[in-house]
Amino acid sequence: MLYTILPLEEIFPEDEAATKIITVDGIGVEVEEVKPGWGRIRRLICTDPQAYLDPRLQPGVEIRF
């Protein structure tokens, strides 16, 4: 049961299908495709704290995959 004043669209966004999980230098990265072959980082999927300090892997950065 979830009690909240937020709309369901904000809690459960429907655009999750547009994301891909790829590996960059051994680190899992969730990206949304902005154009063919290019994606914008949404989040990291990693347990290494040093990976979150890498400026190449910050959310919002566009990468080629």
* Whether pLDDT at 33 is above 60: yes
Average pLDDT over residues 6-33: 84
- CA neighbours closer than 13 Å in the CB half-sphere of residue 9: 1
Q: For residue 26, is it within any domain?
A: yes
> Looking at the 3D structure of the chain, how many domains does it have?
1
Q: For residue 55, is it within any domain?
A: yes
What is the Cα–Cα distance from 65 to 48, expressed in whole angstroms?
A: 22
Q: For residue 25, is it within any domain?
A: yes
pTM (2 d.p.): 0.70
Range of the domain at 37: 14-64
Residue-level pLDDT at 55: 94
52: left (phi over 0), alpha (psi -120 to 50) or beta: alpha
Q: For residue 4, is it within any domain?
A: no
Q: For residue 1, is it within any domain?
A: no
Q: For residue 6, is it within any domain?
A: no
Residue-level pLDDT at 38: 92
Q: For residue 29, is it within any domain?
A: yes
φ, ψ for residue 16 (rounded to 5)? -65, -25
